[in-house]
Amino acid sequence: MLFQHIYDKSLAQASYLIGCQKLGVAAVIDPKRDVDTYIEIAIQNNMKITHIFSKHISMRISCLVLENWRL
């Protein structure tokens, strides 16, 4: 089990990447605009981002970028 807390001080925003190394899958919760952080963590842990959960309407662009990356 991987639980990574990502905090952006400039935006005062917390997000999370939660994954299972055994299955090689991960989910991102409340992604920030710069999605490279999540992609790097997933690659380093041999994971594929399969789910994205966002409660912020403005984060839809980040979700689309992550959605395209996982395909």
What average pLDDT does the chain have? 85
pLDDT-based confidence at residue 71 (cuts at 50, 70, 90): very low
pLDDT digits (tens, 9 = 90+) for 27-53: 999 888 788 999 999 999 999 999 888
* pLDDT over 90, % of the chain: 52
Write the single-letter amino acid at 71.
Answer: L
For residue 30, what are the contacts with CB-CB under 8 A and spacing of at least 6? 13, 14, 15, 16, 53, 54, 55, 56, 59
If one counts the domains in the chain, the total is 1
Residue 57 has pLDDT above 90, yes or no: no
Range of the domain at 32: 2-70
